Structure 1
Amino acid sequence: MSQDLKQYDQAFMGHPKPLKGLFFTELWERFSYYGIRPLLILYMAAMIADGGLGLDRPSASAIVGLFAGLMYLMTVLGGWVADRWLGQEKAVWYGSLIIACGHISIALTALFSHFFFYFGLVLIVIGSGLFKTCISVIVGTLYKAQDTRRDAGFSIFYMGINLGSVLAPLVTGLLVKDYGWHWGFGIGGLGMLISLIIFRVMTVPQLKKFNALQGAETTWDKAVHYDKNAPKVVALFLVLVAVVVTLTSLGYLHINPVIIVKYLTVSICIAIIAYFAYLLLFANLNTTEKKKIIICFVLLMTAALFWSAFEQKPTSFNLFAQDFTNRQFLGFEIPAVWFQSVNPILIVIFAPIAAWLWMKLGKSNRDPSYISKFIIALVLAACGFGLMVLASHSVIQNHGNTVSPLWLIGAMLFLTLGELCLSPVGLSAMTKLAPNVLRGQIMGLWFTASALGNLMAGLIGGHVSADEINQLPTLFMRCVIALLIGAVILWLLRMPIRKLLDQTASTKPTPIQNSQVET
């Protein structure tokens, strides 16, 4: 390794310099997203006289789950488009532009009809499908398969995500409080414009220089397996979206968000199973790649269970903060959305510690396996919801009066520690296990776990209200039980999966296997 390459390879906190550009690109994109997400349920559930949409809480919660769920589900199509047509770089660029347009549309709701609110959500969903998959894939290309810095690098990248998540609710909470809902929504567009500039001016040049120093051909700026029919598929999809949006806005198509979320959840589960079956049976993968695909499937389903609990932060936790949490501090009422910054603040604090821990354990060959980290994540999440069970009992005992904010903060601490054991590690695992010709699609499938989690959380989260106060302990206890059952099942599967991991690590591809991958 030349001296210039060595310096560039360790220029950002001991990691490749392009990680810096990717870090800040993702930071501002997440600022735009987490700036509006916690506002959604509060805005839609607020009375029309207060500037909101006046929806009932179950419907508002279902729409939040549908928005986030479809956004993650779109990463499957986004990964396919990147692999078959645009390449990772162009997918991130065009995705960023579409997201920015979505924020502008939502901001225009103040001047025009509610149509622009829902249309803006649709644009953000489509743009995020391109952006999220591909930027994570680009991070993975910075590291060779056996580089022990990989998990730590994704933890640092994840810290950038959460820096944006810290700032966004604090800013939007104040803007909404002092100037109204649409100022809070509009600031997200500014964050997305900053992300666009950073990606074009900083990130892309750093990536090109890094590849030049390595003497390696770039793989992130072109389609891995170009398909001439891909543009037609994209055009057909956009036409279908336009038809649905038009018919809905004209009143010819009536949508019940709760029913749609229920059917979509079942449909996604069936589709995931069918797609993995297709990959195993008809994708011309060699034996080693098939074993990796099986591991990806187990990790994905585990992640879906975790996210179904974790993604209640913008729904049930958000409503609990508004209705049942004492938010008075020195005569100032803390905006409910500020509690959404607790999780990213804790991530910023603990992510460097997690990155250091994984690197230290990796150097001594004591790094826990992916499976062990996922089991720990489920148990920690169960502990967090256990605190919410106790908090709910406290609310009932106080006859519906507010309780200490420490309940919510403690629950989010456990969820955050679980997140650090699952999310960056899962991203790292997907980029390492996915076959090259399928890496965008596998990363997209990974994000379907978040889609499922958001959909299920949307169904659960709308039932937090003063009218259903006696149901709160049961609501949260069900989450505790589901998470613990998942942890036990994964613990029982740990040995077979560990054997598969050992086999994939020790098996070297034959020339025939390589030819199969390339086709």
Structure 2
Amino acid sequence: MQQHDLETQNQAFLGHPKPLKSLFFTELWERFSYYGIRPLLILYMSAMVANGGLGLDRPTAAAIVGLFAGSMYLMTVLGGWVADNWLGQAKSVWYGSMIIALGHLSIALTNIIDHFFFYFGLVLIVIGSGLFKTCISVIVGTLYKEKDVRRDAGFSIFYMGINIGSFIAPLITGLLIKDNGWHLGFGIGGIGMLIALLIFRFSAIPSLRQFNTLRGQENTWNKPVVINTKAPKIVFGFLALVAALVALTAFGVITIHPVAVVTYLTMSICICIVVYFAYLLLFMHLNQQEKFQIIICFILLVAAALFWSAFEQKPTSFNLFANDFTQRHFFGFEIPTVWFQSINALFIIIFAPIAAWLWVKLGKKNKDPSYISKFIIALVLAASGFLVMAFASTLVAKGNGDLVSPLWIVTSLLLLTLGELCLSPVGLSTMTKLAPTVIRGQIMGLWFTASALGNLMAGLIGGHVSANEIDNLPTLFMRCVIALAIGAIVLWLLKAPIKRLMNKTESVSPQSNMETL
């Protein structure tokens, strides 16, 4: 009877384990909260004060957007460490949800009380997301055994849930700010986060417990990997430091220059990533197989950072291009600028099930492309998307700022979306599979660091779309094309050496679960 119940649970949600359903909707509403406010940020900060905005110049506003998103992903390293050493995955998601909800409440109070609450809310969302993002992905990974061919498909379905939330959110906030001002658009995200919190607490956790009980498996997501008695002191010390910086900035004791901060932070993160991976390889006492898996993770992380540096220009350069140079009037109705941010999510909703089906079908025939191959395809598609934007910006420059068809952005986003499907869910799946158990949360955090780097670099690039810099637009987008193409070529050249190293590793460790590249 128990075996029958297990089989039912194991196929309960679109052929996947039942807990995936609750995790799917938890992530959906958390992403609703995030993507509800993200496209508003650069428009709100660069809007004139008379129009209810902050009146910042575009490079500064774009840098803040990049710093916000980059810091959020960077915090996942600390969030993964906290989960591994103190709270466990479930409690990290729970506390992270509450902190994110408070952040949205703070931002919603901006125009009512003071602009300080806008920046304070961003800080809270960064901290909460650091706990939430890493851990919910790790929990999804625990639903599948090592050689389960459904793993990539499961993450693709999970990723579709992310994009349903990100599709709905800009549509709602775009209408709300049009008629009711900025604060209501910001506030709706907090409602989404509260829904996510309730789903996780009262649906996901009971479902996970039941599933693991039937499977006879310990609830590894419910407790830390190791007990580190110093972890609480480190966490509260970090929070005290953040609070001090926020207070000093609020009272004008220190002044922050966002562009400079993003520039130095980007360089510092690159150095820290290299040093940290060197530490893992040299001092973590990993065996040969685990060291090779760490090397693969590093290579994929670098490729992902390059991809995200282009992809994450959606809320900056793409958003500004849609606002300034795209024809948005049809039959007397003006399409809100932020609605273009829903296009990527719509394409994900359409194509994620197709991708999930394709990976499973190819996997059953042992023809599934390797992770490296999927990453190469992603970079090529992203380069193609930016080539489309280069052509569109050339038309704008030659027409001295004339508006162009929205189909240019739509086509570019389609190519970027197809690249995203080859990289993001597959990358999540790869990290949960390759990461040694004792540091799995930290490796997931490092994976999200690639997104942090991408957002930071996109913030530096994306603020230079304006009527004053029309002639530079084609060059701006072509530089992205060249960088992505070079990345794809380098990754392709690395395939053969990686395959030889892997074969050598498998000869030492026959039990390796790594796939052929």
TM range (shorter): over 0.9
For residue 396 of structure 1, report the CA deviation from its aligned partner: 1.6
Q: Which residue of 2 aligns with 1:517?
A: none
For the structure 1 residues 184 and 15, does the alpha-carbon distance in structure 2 shift closer, same or farther, using more than 3 Å as the test? same
- State the distance in 1 between where 2:224 and 2:504 align: 30
Matches within 5 A, 1:37-436: 37-436=38-437
Distance 1:406 1:498, change over 3 A: same
Contact 1:311–1:453, Cα closer than 8 Å, also in 2: yes
Secondary structure of the structure 2 residue equivalent to 1:2: helix
- Does the 8 Å CA contact 1:74/1:128 hold for their aligned counterparts? yes
Q: In the TM superposition, what is the alpha-carbon distance from 1:397 to its structure 2 partner?
A: 2.2
Q: Cα RMSD (Å) of the superposition?
A: 1.2
* 1:507 Cα deviation after fit: 5.3
- Please, which runs of 5 or more residues in structure 2 have no aligned partner? 513-517
Which amino acid is 1:3 matched to?
H
Report the alpha carbon displacement of residue 508 of structure 1 after superposing the two structures with TM: 4.2
Secondary structure of 2:109's partner? helix
Q: Tell me how far 1:498 sits from its aligned partner.
A: 2.6
Is the CA contact (8 Å cut-off) linking 1:91 and 1:134 kept in structure 2? yes
Counterpart residue number, 2:6: 5
Asked if structure 1 preserves the Cα contact closer than 8 Å seen for 2:32 and 2:165, the reply is yes
Q: Does 1:494 align with 2:489?
A: no
Q: Give the Cα separation in 1 of the matches to 2:504 and 2:42.
A: 47
User: Is the 8 Å Cα contact of residues 316 and 459 (structure 2) preserved in structure 1?
Assistant: yes
The worse-fitting range, judged by mean Cα deviation, of 298-307 and 104-113 is 104-113
Kept after mapping to 1: 8 A contact 2:400/2:470: no
- How far apart are the structure 1 equivalents of 2:395 and 2:449? 36
Separation (CA, whole Å) in 2 of partners of 1:503 and 1:265: 35
The secondary structure found in structure 1 opposite 2:207 is helix
* 1:25 maps to 2:29: no
Query: Deviation at 1:370?
Result: 0.3
**Would the alpha carbon gap of residues 502 and 219 (structure 1) be closer, same or farther in structure 2, given more than 3 Å must change?**
farther
1:46 Cα shift?
0.1
Taking the aligned partners of 1:185 and 1:498, their CA distance within structure 2 comes to 48
Could you tell which deviates more after superposition, 452-461 or 283-292? 283-292
Name the aligned partner's letter for residue 267 of structure 2: V
Give CA deviations for 1:32-64 in whole Å, capped at 9, x if unaligned: 000000000000000000000000000000000
Q: Which runs of 4+ in 1 moved over 2 A?
A: 498-510
Q: How far 1:501 sits from its partner (Å)?
A: 4.2
- For residues 206 and 504 of structure 2, the distance between their equivalents in structure 1, rounded to whole angstroms, comes to 38
Amino acid at match of 2:14: M
Aligned residue identity for 1:338: W
- Cα distance in structure 2, aligned partners of 1:463 and 1:476: 11
Q: How high is the sequence identity, in percent, across the aligned residues? A: 73
Q: Does structure 1 retain, via aligned residues, the 8 Å contact 2:138–2:444?
A: yes
Structure 1 pair 220–369 and aligned structure 2 pair: CA distance change class (3 A)? same
Q: Which one-letter code corresponds to 1:33 in the other structure?
A: Y
Taking structure 2 as the reference length, the TM-score comes to 0.98
TM-fit CA distance, 1:193: 0.3
Shift of 1:458: 0.1
Give, in angstroms, the shift of residue 201 of structure 1: 1.0
Q: Which amino acid in 2 is paired with 1:127?
A: G
Partner of 2:515: none
Deviations 1:256-302 (A, max 9, x none): 00000000000000000000000000011111100000000000000
Offset at residue 509 of structure 1 (A): 8.1
Structure 2 counterpart of 1:480, one-letter code: V
Give the partner amino acid of 1:325: T
List per-residue Cα deviations over 1:298-348 (Å, max 9, x = no partner). 000000000000000000000000000000111100000000000000000
CA distance in structure 2 between the partners assigned to 1:427 and 1:505 by the alignment: 23
Query: Does the 8 Å CA contact 2:102/2:124 hold for their aligned counterparts?
Result: yes
**Contact 1:61/1:459 (8 A) holds in 2:** yes
Q: Distance in 1 between matches of 2:111 and 2:338?
A: 21
Do the aligned residues in 2 keep the contact of 1:100 with 1:193 (CA within 8 Å)? yes
Q: What is the CA-CA distance between 1:499 and the residue it aligns to?
A: 3.3
Q: Secondary structure at the match of 1:109?
A: coil
In structure 2, C-alpha distance between the alignment counterparts of 1:509 and 1:364, rounded to whole Å: 22
> 2:461 corresponds to which residue?
460
Q: Give the total of aligned pairs.
A: 511
Alignment gaps of 5+ in structure 1:
514-519
Q: Secondary structure at the match of 1:213?
A: helix
Q: Which amino acid aligns with 1:434?
A: A
- Separation in 2, partners of 1:141, 1:102: 29
| Mapped partners of 1:502, 1:165: distance in 2 | 41
- Which residue pairs with 1:485 in the alignment? 486
**Partner Cα separation in structure 2 for residue 500 and residue 428 of structure 1:** 21
| CA displacement 1:370-401 (0-9 Å, x = unmatched) | 00000000000000000000000111222211
**Cα distance in 2 for residues equivalent to 1:427 and 1:499:** 24
User: 1:227 is paired with a residue of what secondary structure?
Assistant: coil
**Partner Cα separation in structure 2 for residue 125 and residue 507 of structure 1:** 42
CA distance in 2, matches of 1:185, 1:45: 16
Residue 314 of structure 2 aligns with an amino acid whose one-letter code is K
Compute the TM-score of the two structures, normalised by the length of structure 1.
0.97
